[in-house]
């Protein structure tokens, strides 16, 4: 451990956060970090349980004088999104994350940081490790596989934990208390393909890169472009002009991130006409995105690799799928001004020996609208000779009109920061929806420090904001006597 964060306050929070950055913990690879948390609890003689999903539950008795206070559950997730810049050599299965301090920010060198949600786990560990922080009985719940569909919390057995209040620490904006979140689902389209002999003369790779991307829930309202959808437009416009073949297409990294990059291997006879078309398309798209994605790159290169091409019908179906699949905001809330109500994001497209696959993240704060989007996608697959599968569905977390913890936090925030704590909803999936199902009608809120560009290699977190939120959390626990 390099102790890059040594001396930064709150010391224990940043000590444990840096510890976490040294442990590989991408979704599905949480055994080591789960065991680390279990050993942490055992070393401090705290009651701990690790379940089959590798979720960890740690209990700490109430401080003296707090025995009759409400039991508080502090909750966050262990896993992180594994994304890196294309030219960065990094193995998320074994390499520690290379962090550094940049003014008030903690950053990395070309990979995701894991502040989402390592900061939550680090805060909980710091509280558990302290004999000075006053608090009611605490239960810390650290879940797994949140980023890929919330399999960890789905696997949590009812009755495993019981509490009165749950504070989720998976939000990304200081001064905002979340009291509702969208539900969602993962949609997978599979297009079976048949390969044919490639009789074309020239082979090209087209690259779309340099887009901002971002979290498909939190940044979906910023109207950032999807490299996958743009590639569908490029293919469609080429198809209107000349004959060509498609060998493979790949793009995006995670289904819950807006695709920043996409590439396709094509073959032509008329390479001069192709280059004219692609240059015209590139100019149009760059002009359209000069505000939202000013650094977009649309490039092509002649390559010495000749592969079989998919059938003409496959090509037609592929272009139709990419062009017509829902992307971006679908509906806005009529109840909460500025809140995205429903959205869809095609985050990944990949080609392998079994076909071409498109993975989308569908979100909505209204269950019926979520399935309205799903039904449109199903109709599209029926028209394009493809198949559809819905997985990793998770429920929405509906707003609770009366909340003791929300009112307490608003009062404490006003006194501590001389400002108003904003109560809001988020168009992203939090585990709170499932936790409502598992724990019953529990009083629940979500808070967190300022984080930026989560789920991308530019993810960074504010040091001063972590300090503010942690001190705020300690004050809330203290006042719950």
pLDDT value for 201: 96
Q: Which tens digits make up the pLDDT trace of 100-159?
A: 999 999 999 999 999 999 999 999 999 999 999 999 999 999 999 999 878 999 999 988
Residues taking part in catalysis: 79, 146
pLDDT value for 428: 81
Residue 1 lies in a domain: no
pLDDT value for 1: 62
**Model confidence at 160: pLDDT above 70:** yes
Report the 10 Å Cβ neighbour count for 240: 8
User: Average pLDDT of 371-393?
Assistant: 95
**Best CA proximity match to 294, nearest among 216, 214, 212:** 212
Question: Does residue 409 share a domain with residue 374?
Answer: no
Question: Does residue 426 share a domain with residue 472?
Answer: yes
Structure tokens at 394: 């998770």
Find the distance separating the first CA and the last CA of the chain, reported in whole Å: 38
Question: Does residue 401 share a domain with residue 390?
Answer: no
Q: Which tens digits make up the pLDDT trace of 321-370?
A: 999 999 999 999 887 788 899 999 999 999 998 999 999 999 998 889 99
Residue 3 lies in a domain: no
Question: Does residue 426 share a domain with residue 385?
Answer: no
Question: Does residue 387 share a domain with residue 269?
Answer: yes
- Given a contact cutoff of 8 angstroms between Cβ atoms, the answer to whether 393 and 333 are in contact is no
Residue 2 lies in a domain: no
Percent of all residues in the chain with a pLDDT value above 70, rounded to a whole number: 100
Weakest mean pLDDT among 85-99, 228-242, 247-261, 421-435: 421-435
In DSSP terms, 408 is beta-bridged to: none
| Structural domains of the chain, count | 2
Of 366, 394, 422, which closes a domain? 394
pTM of the model: 0.71
**Best CA proximity match to 425, nearest among 166, 174, 178:** 178
Residue 452 lies in a domain: yes
Question: Does residue 193 share a domain with residue 175?
Answer: no
The parent domain of residue 442 ranges over: 11-182+396-478
CATH number for the domain harbouring residue 177: 3.40.630.10
pLDDT value for 68: 95
Read off the DSSP letter of residue 399.
-
Question: Does residue 205 share a domain with residue 146?
Answer: no
Q: Which tens digits make up the pLDDT trace of 177-227?
A: 999 889 989 999 999 999 999 999 999 999 999 999 998 988 999 989 999
**Model confidence at 2: pLDDT above 80:** no
Of 394, 418, 447, which closes a domain? 394
Question: Does residue 360 share a domain with residue 467?
Answer: no
Question: Does residue 200 share a domain with residue 167?
Answer: no
Question: Does residue 258 share a domain with residue 290?
Answer: yes
Question: Does residue 207 share a domain with residue 162?
Answer: no
**Model confidence at 429: pLDDT above 80:** no
CATH number for the domain harbouring residue 238: 3.30.70.360
Residue 4 lies in a domain: no
pLDDT value for 120: 98
Of 337, 360, 394, which closes a domain? 394
């Amino acid at each position: 451990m390099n102790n890059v964060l040594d001396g930064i306050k709150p010391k224990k929070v940043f000590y444990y956060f840096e510890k976490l950055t040294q442990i590989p913990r991408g979704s599905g690879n949480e055994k080591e970090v789960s065991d680390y948390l279990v050993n942490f609890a055992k070393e401090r003689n705290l009651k701990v349980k690790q379940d089959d999903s590798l979720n960890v539950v740690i209990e700490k008795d109430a401080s003296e004088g707090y025995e009759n206070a409400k039991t508080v559950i502090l909750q966050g997730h262990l896993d992180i999104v594994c994304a890196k810049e294309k030219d960065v050599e990094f193995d998320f299965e074994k390499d520690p994350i290379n962090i550094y301090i940049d003014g008030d920010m903690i950053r990395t060198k070309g990979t995701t940081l894991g502040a989402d949600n390592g900061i939550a786990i680090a805060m909980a560990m710091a509280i558990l490790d302290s004999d000075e922080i006053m608090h009611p009985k605490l239960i810390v719940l650290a879940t797994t596989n949140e980023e890929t569909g919330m399999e960890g919390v789905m696997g949590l057995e009812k009755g495993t934990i019981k509490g009165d209040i749950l504070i989720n620490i998976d939000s990304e904006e200081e001064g905002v208390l979340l009291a509702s979140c969208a539900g969602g689902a993962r949609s997978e389209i599979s297009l079976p393909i048949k390969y044919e002999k490639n009789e074309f003369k020239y082979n090209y790779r087209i690259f779309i890169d340099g887009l901002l991307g971002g979290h498909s829930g939190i940044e979906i309202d910023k109207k950032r472009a999807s490299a996958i959808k743009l590639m569908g437009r490029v293919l469609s416009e080429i198809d209107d002009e000349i004959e060509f073949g498609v060998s493979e297409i790949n793009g995006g990294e995670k289904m819950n991130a807006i695709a920043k990059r996409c590439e396709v291997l094509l073959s032509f006879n008329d390479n001069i006409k192709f280059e004219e078309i692609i240059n015209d398309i590139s100019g149009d798209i760059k002009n359209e995105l000069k505000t939202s994605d000013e650094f977009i790159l649309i490039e092509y290169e002649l390559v010495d690799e000749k592969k079989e091409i998919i059938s003409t019908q496959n090509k037609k179906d592929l272009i139709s799928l990419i062009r017509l699949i829902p992307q971006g905001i679908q509906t806005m809330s009529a109840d909460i001004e500025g809140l995205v109500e429903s959205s869809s994001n095609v985050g990944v497209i990949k080609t392998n020996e079994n076909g071409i696959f498109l993975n989308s993240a569908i979100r909505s704060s209204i269950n019926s609208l979520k399935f309205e989007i799903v039904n449109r996608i199903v109709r599209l697959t029926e028209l394009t000779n493809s198949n559809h599968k819905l997985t990793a569905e998770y429920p929405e977390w509906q707003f609770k009109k009366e909340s003791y913890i929300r009112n307490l936090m608003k009062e404490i925030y006003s006194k501590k920061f001389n400002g108003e704590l904003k109560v809001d909803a988020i168009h992203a999936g939090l585990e709170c929806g499932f936790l409502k199902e598992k724990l019953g009608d529990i009083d629940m809120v979500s808070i967190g420090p300022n984080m930026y560009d989560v789920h991308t290699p530019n993810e960074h977190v504010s040091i001063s904001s972590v300090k503010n939120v942690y001190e705020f959390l300690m004050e809330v626990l203290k006042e719950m006597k």
